[in-house]
């Protein structure tokens, strides 16, 4: 898992790979595989191909880039924790 802080207008790129991008603060524009996506705090986007992904901060922002295996494990653990709390 990689956490990255971006200042407004700063550009960040993610090389080819399968991962999730989580916007934990601010707002970013993401260009991936022909898609242009705006992510705001709390939103995420799955990158599932071998193309370069470019991200630009529309305001001061923070991102977490998580590989697919980490994301699936976290999701599974969250679901198990919620089930046992009921």
C-alpha–C-alpha distance, residues 38 and 55, integer Å: 10
H or E, element range at 84: helix 68-85
Report the pLDDT value the prediction gives residue 35, as an integer from 0 to 100.
85
| Exposed / middle / buried, residue 77 (Cβ in 10 Å: 0-12, 13-18, 19+) | exposed
| Domain around 23 | 2-85
The model's pTM:
0.77
Cα Rg for the chain, rounded, in angstroms?
14
Q: What is the mean pLDDT of each run of 10 residues along the chain (86 residues)?
A: 94 87 97 91 88 94 85 54 58
Report the pLDDT value the prediction gives residue 56, as an integer from 0 to 100.
98
Report the pLDDT value the prediction gives residue 32, as an integer from 0 to 100.
84
* Number of folded domains that form the chain: 1
**Which strands, in side-by-side order, build the sheet including 44-49?**
2-6, 61-67, 17-25, 44-49
Provide the token pair at 49: 């191909």
The CATH number given to whatever domain includes residue 30 is 2.60.120.10
Report the pLDDT value the prediction gives residue 29, as an integer from 0 to 100.
98
Report the pLDDT value the prediction gives residue 21, as an integer from 0 to 100.
93
């Amino acid at each position: 898992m990689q956490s990255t802080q971006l200042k407004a207008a700063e550009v960040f790129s993610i090389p080819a790979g399968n991962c999730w991008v989580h916007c934990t603060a601010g707002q970013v524009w993401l260009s991936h595989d022909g898609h242009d996506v705006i992510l705001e705090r709390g939103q995420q986007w799955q990158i599932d191909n071998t193309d370069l992904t470019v991200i630009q901060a529309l305001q001061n922002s923070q991102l977490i880039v998580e590989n697919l295996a980490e994301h699936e494990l976290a999701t599974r653990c969250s679901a198990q924790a919620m089930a046992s709390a009921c």
